[in-house]
Structure 1
Amino acid sequence: MLSQDIIVTLARQLYDARKTRTQLRQFSAQYPQMTIDDGYAIQREWVSLEVADGRCVKGRKIGLTSRAMQLSSQISEPDFAPLMDDMFFEQGSELPTERFIAPRVEVELAFVLGRPLKGPGVTLFDVLSATDYVTPAVEIIDSRIEQFDRETKAPRKVFDTISDFAANAGIVLGGRPVRPDAVDLRWVGAMLFKNGVVEETGLGAGVLNHPATGVAWLAKKIAAHGEGLEAGQVILAGSFTRPTPAAAGDSFHVDYGQLGTVSFRFA
Structure 2
Amino acid sequence: MLTDQQITTIADDLAAAERDRGTIERLTARHPEMTVEDAYAVQNEWRRRGIAAGRRPVGRKIGLTSKVMQEATGITEPDYGAIFADMVHETGAVIEHAQFSNVRVEVELAFVLGRDLTGPHTTVTEVLDATDYVIPALEILSSRVEMAGRTIVDTISDNAAMGAMVLGGRPVRPDAVDLRWVSALLRRNEAIEDTGVAAAVLDHPARGVAWLADKLAQHGDGLSAGETILAGSFTRPMWVHAGDTVHCDYRDLGAVTCRFE
Q: Under TM normalisation by the shorter chain, which class is it?
A: over 0.9
Deviates more, 1:82-91 or 1:132-141: 82-91
> 1:258: which partner in 2?
252
Letter of the 1:51 counterpart: I
> 2:26: which partner in 1?
26
CA distance in 2, matches of 1:48, 1:171: 20
Q: State the 1:49 CA deviation.
A: 1.3
Query: Residues 95-106 of structure 1: matches in 2 within 5 Å?
Result: 95-106=95-106
Q: TM-score, normalised by structure 2?
A: 0.98
From 189, 192, 196, the equivalent of 1:195 is 189
Unaligned runs of 5+ in 1: 149-154
Letter of the 1:83 counterpart: I
From 120, 132, 155, the equivalent of 1:161 is 155
Matched, 1:54 2:54: yes
Query: Residues 1-267 of structure 1: matches in 2 within 5 Å?
Result: 1-148=1-148, 155-267=149-261
Deviates more, 1:71-80 or 1:17-26: 71-80
Q: State the 1:124 CA deviation.
A: 0.5
CA distance in 1, matches of 2:116, 2:247: 32
CA distance in 2, matches of 1:48, 1:9: 15
CA distance in 1, matches of 2:245, 2:74: 34
| Post-superposition CA distance 1:205-261 (Å, at most 9, x none) | 000000000000000000011101010100000000001111111001100000000
Q: State the 1:15 CA deviation.
A: 1.5
CA distance in 2, matches of 1:232, 1:16: 31
Helix, strand or coil at the partner of 1:140:
strand
Letter of the 2:155 counterpart: T
| Post-superposition CA distance 1:77-98 (Å, at most 9, x none) | 1000111111111210100112
Helix, strand or coil at the partner of 2:7:
helix
CA distance in 1, matches of 2:96, 2:181: 33
CA distance in 2, matches of 1:119, 1:19: 35
Q: State the 1:76 CA deviation.
A: 2.0
Runs of 4+ in 1 over 6 A off after TM superposition: none
CA distance in 2, matches of 1:3, 1:180: 43
Q: State the 1:101 CA deviation.
A: 1.7
Q: TM-score, normalised by structure 1?
A: 0.96
CA distance in 2, matches of 1:201, 1:74: 23
Q: State the 1:69 CA deviation.
A: 2.1
Helix, strand or coil at the partner of 1:217:
helix
Q: State the 1:73 CA deviation.
A: 2.9
CA distance in 1, matches of 2:221, 2:151: 26
CA distance in 1, matches of 2:143, 2:50: 17
CA distance in 2, matches of 1:196, 1:71: 29
| Post-superposition CA distance 1:9-55 (Å, at most 9, x none) | 10111122111101000010000001111110100011111112111
CA distance in 2, matches of 1:3, 1:207: 35
Q: CA RMSD in A?
A: 0.9
Deviates more, 1:105-114 or 1:63-72: 63-72
Helix, strand or coil at the partner of 2:83:
strand
Letter of the 1:52 counterpart: A
Q: 8 Å contact 2:69–2:236 — kept in the other structure?
A: no
| Post-superposition CA distance 1:97-153 (Å, at most 9, x none) | 1211221000000000000000113111000000000000000001100111xxxxx
CA distance in 1, matches of 2:228, 2:118: 15
